[in-house]
Structure 1
Amino acid sequence: MLRVDFLVIGKTKEKWIQTGIDKYLKRLQPYAKLTYKELADISVDKRKDSKIIQAVSPRDLLILLDEKGLEFTSVDGAKWLEKKAHHCSGKIIFVVGSAYGFTEEEYSRADFTLSLSKMTFTHEMIRVFFLEQLYRMFSIQKGTPYHHV
């Protein structure tokens, strides 16, 4: 089973967002061994030892969710993710940054950056949006009826 880590910077403060996160974490269980971790929110200027970099092994695929990243439709994203998962010998690690963004070291280590939209959303909302899209991509790959084509 595919191993996926979903790292987020900072705690989820909004209860309705946490409810959405919990909903999609549960829905994702049949598709991947998914670990959700909240890391301390420290400004980029004050980060000496990146908790993101520490969480990644050389075999892992690190994907930062960033406004400057690649954009896909859900179907194209499902195909892209399937190809990447097939060639990954470790975990796939997705990271949502904070309002402070990522360090140069984190950008340098990243294998890819993905953008969910050209619009700007809060870093808390992106957690739910991305988990829903990850669930959608897996359901597309498996041919389940969640995504209506």
Structure 2
Amino acid sequence: MEFSCLPPPAMMWGVDENRKYRIGEMPGDGQLCVASLEEDAMMLCVRGKGKGSDNGWVLERYTPMREVFDTVPGLPKHPLARRAKLWLSDIDAGRTGRLFVHTIGYGSFAYHMDTGKLDCLATEDGLAYGRPIFAYFSAPDGCSSS
């Protein structure tokens, strides 16, 4: 097996070079992608070349998130305070088009990239899911170790 180092898109680093991003797969075709949730916006890049390519990444989606996060009760409105309270936890490995967002003290959420809907992740008894949320799936049949 051959391994290589793949830098994230420079556009996700910005001025402060302290961005948080997650690697995953696109819902439809399983293409490698990287997502970031910063400055009240969600950026999603896929591997690609051509016009606008950034370290081999192409911006697939840029979604303003201010109005989406305004629906979370009690979450600070000031951008710096809000940025300190939330982060992208994971990209759903089930390729459902959801991003998992975690906050400090305001719950965990699933954001659907196609519908723009932010759902609170809560158990049947009303308790919030634990953190961190690691999306995973089981190995196919025949891959178990003996």
Q: Normalising by the residue count of structure 2, what TM-score does the alignment of the two structures yield?
A: 0.26
Return the structure number with greater strand share.
2
Return the structure number with greater helix share.
1
Larger radius of gyration: 2
Compare relative contact order (CA 8 Å, sep 6+) and give the higher one, 1 or 2.
1
